[in-house]
């Protein structure tokens, strides 16, 4: 295949509920959609789901825009490839910038699976007809508000809830939720906020008794040794997210025992090709995986659903319905969860959802076009 035209569209969607991060309040998110077209006019879509600021990873919407328009699009335009797993060869000399790369990689998978008339899930090696979704809840103003949020999600039928924690907001909120929901599959995500200071370790060790499915990313992304030291004294599995950007990170993490569960994010790993490879390696080592989210719009969310249909994704993925975040999605039909189950669209080629181009263009705050 060969791509002759690439369009980047930075699309702004309002959020249903404002959320607060450590630095600011967000009432909308902007992701860059990648539209690729081959010589015959066949179209594929990908999504760059980078946060606006460099706080989860080093990338931002701005860096993704620059790298995408100045390096990735020119590299992909005119490159010949037989299979989407080989498309990334076009940009292999570009280091890092995984979120930006993921959007281009996804667009190639979407284009190719459409052209072949196969569902994306099948193209990736998926098997499951439905995917189990969990929800991720942010840090709330207080314990009562958090318990209320959990109750809403449990009532909507989600079988697993993940709570964001930070030093000072951990043992107490987790105990309160556990007391109200003794049987709920519950886990926590620290986004690397802890260190090996004694008071932090005391809190992490106290969480070991809360019946959590996992403690996600306790330490800084590159501190695999701290993670290994913690895993050695906990019964609760440590899950790695930010730490694992490529297959080499995963090999190292497995070798030093830095965790027992892997969160695979298509964005963090630079695309579906890399995500499938991480799944395969984890599976060889008997490590259960699940698919994490980055508040994706429908394009990235559809890719996450397809990926989660692979056999090693044995834990609920962060693929809740789009309606948890956005009033209207960029795809039709929108991605919906029914009691925590999301149907994998096996009967439709490609992503299995149509991109609503009029809606996307109406919400684009900037566009870029590249041609051969
Ligand atoms: O660590 O999983 C995370 C969102 C932004 C940055 C980091 C994370 C998240 C999520 C999103 O938890 C979950 C979702 O998309 O449903
Ligand atoms: Mg995480």
Distance 102 CA to ligand 1 centre (A): 16
User: Which pLDDT value is given to residue 18?
Assistant: 78
Q: Is 164 a catalytic residue?
A: yes
61 in Cβ contact with 50 (< 8 Å)? yes
List every span in the chain annotated with CATH 3.20.20.120: 123-343
pTM of the entire structure? 0.97
List every span in the chain annotated with CATH 3.30.390.10: 3-117+357-371
298 in Cβ contact with 334 (< 8 Å)? yes
Which segments of the chain does DSSP mark as H helices, in order? 61-67, 73-76, 98-116, 120-124, 143-155, 171-180, 198-207, 224-233, 247-256, 266-269, 272-284, 298-308, 357-362
Low-confidence ranges of the chain (pLDDT < 70): 20-24
The topology under which CATH files domain 3-117+357-371 is Enolase-like; domain 1 (3.30.390)
User: Which pLDDT value is given to residue 303?
Assistant: 98
Neighbours of 58 (CB within 10 A): 13
User: Which pLDDT value is given to residue 21?
Assistant: 59
The topology under which CATH files domain 123-343 is TIM Barrel (3.20.20)
| Tens of pLDDT, residues 77-133 | 989 999 999 999 999 999 999 999 999 999 999 999 999 999 999 999 999 999 999
| Residue to mutate (ligand 1; options 292, 316, 321, 337; most atoms within 8 A of CB) | 292
Which protein residue has the closest C-alpha to ligand 1 atom 1?
Answer: 191
57 in Cβ contact with 98 (< 8 Å)? yes
| Residue to mutate (ligand 1; options 47, 189, 294; most atoms within 8 A of CB) | 294
Q: Is the CB of 56 under 6 A from ligand 1?
A: yes
User: Which pLDDT value is given to residue 193?
Assistant: 97
User: Which pLDDT value is given to residue 172?
Assistant: 97
| Tens of pLDDT, residues 346-371 | 999 999 999 999 999 999 999 999 99
Distance 191 CA to ligand 2 centre (A): 6
- Helix crossing, 298-308 with 272-284: angle to 10°? 30
Q: Collapsing DSSP states into helix, strand and coil, what is residue 30? A: strand
Q: Is the CB of 191 under 6 A from ligand 1?
A: yes
Question: Which tokens go with 129?
Answer: 């007809």
Neighbours of 77 (CB within 10 A): 17
User: Which pLDDT value is given to residue 22?
Assistant: 54
Distance 80 CA to ligand 2 centre (A): 35
Q: Is the CB of 47 under 6 A from ligand 1?
A: no
Q: Is the CB of 214 under 6 A from ligand 1?
A: no
């Amino acid at each position: 295949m060969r791509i002759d035209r690439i369009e980047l569209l930075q699309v702004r969607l309002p959020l249903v509920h404002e959320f607060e991060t450590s630095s600011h309040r967000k009432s909308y998110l902007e992701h860059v959609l990648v539209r690729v077209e081959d010589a015959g006019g066949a179209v594929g879509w990908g999504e760059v789901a980078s946060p606006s600021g460099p706080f989860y990873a080093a990338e931002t919407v701005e860096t993704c825009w620059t790298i995408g328009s100045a390096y990735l699009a020119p590299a992909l335009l005119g490159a010949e490839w037989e299979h989407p797993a080989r498309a990334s060869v076009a940009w292999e000399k570009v280091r890092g910038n995984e979120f930006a790369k993921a959007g281009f990689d996804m667009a190639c998978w979407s284009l190719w699976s459409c052209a072949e008339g196969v569902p994306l899930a099948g193209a990736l090696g998926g098997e499951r007809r439905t995917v189990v979704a969990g929800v991720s809840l942010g840090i709330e103003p207080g314990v009562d508000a958090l318990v209320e949020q959990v109750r809403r999600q449990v009532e909507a039928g989600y079988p697993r809830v993940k709570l964001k924690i930070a030093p000072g907001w951990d043992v107490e909120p987790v105990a309160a939720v556990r007391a109200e929901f003794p049987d709920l599959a519950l886990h926590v995500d620290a986004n690397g906020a802890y260190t090996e200071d004694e008071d932090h370790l005391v809190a992490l060790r106290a969480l070991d008794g809360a019946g959590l499915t996992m403690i996600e990313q306790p330490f800084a992304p590159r501190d695999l040794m701290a993670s290994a030291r913690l895993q050695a004294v906990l019964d609760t599995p440590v899950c790695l997210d930010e730490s694992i950007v490529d297959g080499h990170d995963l090999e190292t993490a497995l070798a030093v025992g830095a965790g027992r569960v892997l969160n695979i994010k298509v964005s963090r790993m630079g695309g579906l090709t890399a995500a499938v490879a991480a799944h395969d390696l984890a599976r060889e080592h008997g490590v259960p995986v699940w698919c994490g989210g980055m508040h994706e719009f429908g394009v990235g969310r559809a890719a996450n659903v397809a990926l989660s249909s692979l056999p090693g994704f044995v834990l609920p993925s962060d693929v809740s319905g789009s309606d948890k975040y956005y009033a209207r999605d960029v795809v039709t039909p929108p991605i919906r969860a029914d009691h925590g189950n999301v149907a994998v669209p096996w009967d439709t080629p490609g992503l299995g959802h149509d991109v609503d181009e009029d809606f996307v263009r109406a919400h684009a705050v900037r566009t870029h076009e590249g041609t051969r």
